[in-house]
Structure 1
Amino acid sequence: MLCLLFFLIYFANIFSFISMETNEIDDDDGIDLSHFGAKIYGQPKKHDGSVERYGNPEEQGDYLEGDLLIPTSAKNGIRDQSYRWKHGEVPFVINGNFDAFMMDKLERAFNEYKAKTCIKFIPRRPSDRDYISIENAPTGCWSSIGRIGGKQIVNLQTPLCLSLIGTVLHELLHVVGFFHEQNREDRDSYVTINSKNIRDGYQVNFAKIKKGDSTSFGVGYDYGSVLHYSADAFSKNGKPTIVAKKKTNEAMGQRKGFSQKDIEKINKMYKCQRSADDSFFGNVQRQILSFNNENE
């Protein structure tokens, strides 16, 4: 009888997801943007929608590091810090003209965060002052880092930036608060940057994050991160601009989906915790206790 109970419980719960909850995120959980200086600020530029062969669309922009931009025309509005999203909730509105296929791609990206992290993209409520506006102006793929306050744009030019779910995940990871992987301060132990192959004027895109600005949360370097540049990013001659120093089976610049280390970093940044009460094993435990109580 007991074996039958376990069998039934297993199949009743096999499709259940382990829920995640986030600890409180305070305003002092800031994200240092000072190493970017004023270069991260500017205005969107028209993009013709083309993508170089083998290139990721977010690596084709004329913005800082290809896809980082905080639109502003007021120099006194510049500040050197953004913040994490409280409770891991990112309110959003959709202000672009997205067809059913593209809306499905956005929903799939949101669901990836929901299933694997405690980040929740939720429709904006009247009380939400800070939120993202998802748009598809002909200005390429770009977003800002972290919660900058008020309305902040995530631009996903169609169909350019919605061909792969990884591009959407990439831009939303910036929104959550993460920098590009190959720009982390310890990258010189893992990759070689071939400056001679970088397009003139684009060397700044490979600048390392200043020492002491922790963005990795103790997670090792990740060649397979959805935030890593491709090997020939910003190349002027088709030759590699980034070469791995260590043997890896991971493809630099992949945009198929989160790597395991991407997920680990998100959950560490937002202090995500598994909710035992809603987990598979929590459900099993509750049902066994209920069964025992009913038969005492």
Structure 2
Amino acid sequence: MGIHRVLGLFTCVMIVIESLDSVKTDETGPSPFRSVLFTRNRRGFPERGGLSSDSLANLRELLSQLYNKRKGKHGPTNSKGPTKLQKGAGLQKTSESDVIRMVDHHGRNAFREADKENPRTSQTAEDLLEEDTHDIHPRPVQPARGGGSSRRSFLRGEHLLWTNGTIPYVINGNVGEECRKEILASVELFHNYTCIHWEPYLGRGGDHVEFFTGGMSSSYVGNIQVSKYGHLYKPKLSSQPISIDSRHCTLHVVLHEMSHTVGMTHEQSRSDRDRYVTVHWEHVLGGEGNQNLAKEDTENHDVPYDYSSLMHYSAFAFSKDKEKTLEYKNTDYEFLGLRENILSFYDIEDITKAYKCAHACNETECQNAGYMDMTCSCRCPDYLQGPKCEEVVTGGCGGVIELEGPTDQLTISSPGYPQPYPAGGNCVWLVKAPRGYSLELTSQEFNLPDNSLNRCSHWLEVRAMLIGQPGPLYCGDSLPMITTESGAESHLLLLRFDSSNQFVDTGKGFNLTVKTKIDFSQSNGSTDSSLSDDAINHCELDPNWCYNGGTCVFDKGEVSCSCSDGYSGDFCEHSEHLKEMPENPDKDFPDKGIYSCDPSTACQIRPTSAEYAWTVKEQGLVVTPQSRGAQAGFTVPFRITESRDMCLEFTLRRRDPDRPCGELKVMKHVTGADFGYGGYQYDLPLYTGGCGGTAGVHSATLSPFVGESITVSFTATVAENGDFNMVIENISITEGIC
């Protein structure tokens, strides 16, 4: 059935249901028939046939599935070649890809469309799984040569690169016409977005590749130099082969194999991959011997790890039991492995830098993750523009916002907030902090409409991993706290609010807070060269940078600690007198389960002063007796040991609004084991405050390193009038990160 007949069928069905005068389509939504289903109610037509909104939503879903089944997996062939992109974009298929990016939040529950897209329930994911599983990469047999400068997912060694970026090719006669079109479309994409030139082989000898189809997709990584080493292979090679699985000759697969030939290895094989994915070898075909999921020796400077890379496998790749083999550290981004990705924004940067495509360009400092491309202009992430990527592309709302310093913050609201926002808009905000900081996004209110299928009608896209990488689309009645990923782009956050669907009721919108945080992964010793001219003075940012009374020194971009007598170490964490100190009095504290102190029922604490005691009064802990300048403290009788992330939470209340308050200080006490380098002890404040705005719930995450244990103490210093005037209502230490 042709595509026009399918559209005619759908139109007939809709007319029967709706009796509309005209049919409109909404290309921005997840279904091409979204506007048809909502037009009549917006015009004030009465309901017909007793169809509820849920029934219409379910019908729309069934019709959308029928449409997809009829039109075929890849849609009609584009006889004019690949689709042209806006300047700066990576190459990504966008047909229906918005659907699996959606994350519908209600309270603490999250409904991810990507969770439904797995090999047990989705034909699309099944196909991707099969494509990944039939992708192999034989090793070259010639002697390896080290050295050279390569980038990111390129294996070490410039001998793997093709001279002048030129790759002669020939297409074998066994390649069918449709597959030949995909190969030629891939060649054009490389020509349009990189300086790699795939040229027809003229038969004059020399290194070249040959495309042919078979039962599996495979290619060598880089130039194996068949003109020199082809005789070493069995059978002997006269050309470098690129095999395409005849059952999966798609643009995605062809580009993937060609990128290997260019020199790229798999993204999940990068040497830094353990920060981003966990490999579950127990579910992998061939176990740890499967080289497609093995970690390689790669150079990772300048270009970040990219979940959206053409070279990244799906979460179920090479699974022997349909369980996940690659677990993403941030599950909201698993949808990126379920799309037929083409060349991403960072893939293009990867190739550009490896082959020095912009080597002859005048130096221009591209901003906001942009980079100089082969045209000697800045290639910008989606929704950014300008000669240096310094502007946002937006529909009359949004803009570029810059934060300064460690405590700066701002509020971002939907148009018209606190009134419901108007439909039909598209807002983009780029939030920037100084390098060396990360950004934290929280919501005071969040209300964007969804439907009974937990799909978003309007959404907020949050690009917190990389701003050049597609982000999850959030809707519902809540938004989780989101922190930008540590790394070269941790100081950048891009938000895109899409309310372009005008055929649904709008929500109240959102009121968000963005604030800066220090990104400790980019402190001294970072290998990120982009930070070399922007060193962070931690002495100014963190008064407790050095432990045990040490003095912080910042000199020529380096931070060090000048330690007091008897202490040593980078942070003055080692005590020369540790072995002479009495045994840790907290060693007998329980370290299993959780801790809870509710003064209205039961609360176990260990006072540190016999003169001043904490007692239960007014359903909380208060200090009695009290005298000017006195201190009264207690230790929580609970010990957090290594390999446990736990959350300390306590609630404060002011007793008398007309009287001054003293000060409460909450400290964590860290003891590290002696593994031959000397044990250590140090204290760090978790909270210091008096009255004012300190009432309410406060929390801190406690995560001991290997060999460490942590205890917590509370110390009150009463005010000048002898009054502490604060009540601690409850204290808890529970599993998880706050």
Q: When the two structures are superposed, what TM-score results if normalisation uses the length of structure 1?
A: 0.66
The aligned residue for residue 336 of structure 2 is 251
Question: How far apart, in 1, do the equivalents of 2:160 and 2:194 lie?
Answer: 18
Q: Of residues 25, 38, 55 in structure 1, which corresponds to 2:128?
A: 55
Label 1:132 to 1:57 Cα distance change in 2 as closer, same or farther (>3 A). farther
**Amino acid aligned to 1:267:** T
The aligned residue for residue 211 of structure 2 is 134
Q: Of residues 106, 119, 143 in structure 1, which corresponds to 2:219?
A: 143
**2:202 maps to 1:125:** yes
**Amino acid aligned to 1:59:** D
Q: Of residues 172, 181, 194 in structure 1, which corresponds to 2:280?
A: 194
Q: Answer with 1 or 2: which has the greater Rg.
A: 2
Offset at 1:261? 0.7
The count of aligned residue pairs is: 219
Are the counterparts in 2 of residues 145 and 178 from structure 1 also a CA contact under 8 Å?
Answer: yes
Label 1:200 to 1:239 Cα distance change in 2 as closer, same or farther (>3 A). same
Offset at 1:229? 0.9
**2:167 maps to 1:90:** yes
Question: How far apart, in 2, do the equivalents of 1:200 and 1:120 lie?
Answer: 36
**2:305 maps to 1:221:** yes
Question: How far apart, in 1, do the equivalents of 2:185 and 2:256 lie?
Answer: 13
**Amino acid aligned to 1:140:** M
Label 1:200 to 1:280 Cα distance change in 2 as closer, same or farther (>3 A). closer
**2:124 maps to 1:67:** no
Question: How far apart, in 1, do the equivalents of 2:376 and 2:354 lie?
Answer: 24
Question: How far apart, in 2, do the equivalents of 1:145 and 1:56 lie?
Answer: 21
Offset at 1:204? 3.1
**2:233 maps to 1:156:** no
Are the counterparts in 2 of residues 224 and 253 from structure 1 also a CA contact under 8 Å?
Answer: no
Question: How far apart, in 2, do the equivalents of 1:280 and 1:218 lie?
Answer: 18
The aligned residue for residue 264 of structure 1 is 349
**Amino acid aligned to 2:172:** N
The aligned residue for residue 22 of structure 1 is none
Question: How far apart, in 2, do the equivalents of 1:55 and 1:224 lie?
Answer: 14
**2:319 maps to 1:235:** yes
Are the counterparts in 2 of residues 195 and 203 from structure 1 also a CA contact under 8 Å?
Answer: no
Question: How far apart, in 2, do the equivalents of 1:272 and 1:279 lie?
Answer: 9
Q: Secondary structure at the match of 1:272?
A: coil
Label 1:80 to 1:280 Cα distance change in 2 as closer, same or farther (>3 A). closer
Are the counterparts in 2 of residues 154 and 171 from structure 1 also a CA contact under 8 Å?
Answer: yes
Offset at 1:196? 2.2
Identity between Structure 1 and Structure 2 (%): 29
Label 1:237 to 1:279 Cα distance change in 2 as closer, same or farther (>3 A). closer
Are the counterparts in 1 of residues 212 and 242 from structure 2 also a CA contact under 8 Å?
Answer: yes
Offset at 1:145? 0.7
Are the counterparts in 2 of residues 118 and 267 from structure 1 also a CA contact under 8 Å?
Answer: yes
Label 1:57 to 1:271 Cα distance change in 2 as closer, same or farther (>3 A). farther
Q: Secondary structure at the match of 2:136?
A: coil
Alignment deviations for residues 57-86 of structure 1 (CA, whole Å, 9 cap, x no partner): 44223xxxx410258xxxxx5422552001
Which moves more between the two structures, 125-134 or 165-174? 125-134
Ranges in structure 1 where 5+ consecutive residues have no aligned partner? 1-14, 19-50, 72-76, 282-296
Question: How far apart, in 1, do the equivalents of 2:259 and 2:338 lie?
Answer: 14
Q: Secondary structure at the match of 1:196?
A: helix
Q: Secondary structure at the match of 1:229?
A: coil
Q: Of residues 173, 181, 187 in structure 1, which corresponds to 2:267?
A: 181
Which moves more between the two structures, 83-92 or 253-262? 253-262
The aligned residue for residue 100 of structure 1 is 177
**Amino acid aligned to 2:177:** A
Label 1:209 to 1:89 Cα distance change in 2 as closer, same or farther (>3 A). same
Alignment deviations for residues 189-211 of structure 1 (CA, whole Å, 9 cap, x no partner): 1111122222344543322113x
Question: How far apart, in 1, do the equivalents of 2:162 and 2:337 lie?
Answer: 28
Offset at 1:128? 4.5
Q: Of residues 133, 143, 162 in structure 2, which corresponds to 1:79?
A: 143
Offset at 1:112? 0.6
Question: Higher RCO, 1 or 2 (CA under 8 Å, sep at least 6)?
Answer: 1
Are the counterparts in 1 of residues 277 and 328 from structure 2 also a CA contact under 8 Å?
Answer: yes
Question: How far apart, in 1, do the equivalents of 2:131 and 2:310 lie?
Answer: 11
Q: Secondary structure at the match of 1:125?
A: coil
Label 1:56 to 1:112 Cα distance change in 2 as closer, same or farther (>3 A). farther
Greater strand proportion: 2
Are the counterparts in 1 of residues 309 and 341 from structure 2 also a CA contact under 8 Å?
Answer: no
Label 1:99 to 1:118 Cα distance change in 2 as closer, same or farther (>3 A). same
**Amino acid aligned to 1:109:** S
Q: Secondary structure at the match of 1:55?
A: helix
Q: Secondary structure at the match of 1:90?
A: strand
Label 1:244 to 1:201 Cα distance change in 2 as closer, same or farther (>3 A). closer
Question: How far apart, in 2, do the equivalents of 1:194 and 1:201 lie?
Answer: 9
Label 1:57 to 1:202 Cα distance change in 2 as closer, same or farther (>3 A). farther
Are the counterparts in 1 of residues 138 and 219 from structure 2 also a CA contact under 8 Å?
Answer: yes
Offset at 1:180? 0.3
Q: When the two structures are superposed, what TM-score results if normalisation uses the length of structure 2?
A: 0.28
Q: Of residues 254, 262, 272 in structure 2, which corresponds to 1:168?
A: 254
Question: How far apart, in 2, do the equivalents of 1:237 and 1:57 lie?
Answer: 13
Greater helix proportion: 1
Offset at 1:133? 0.8
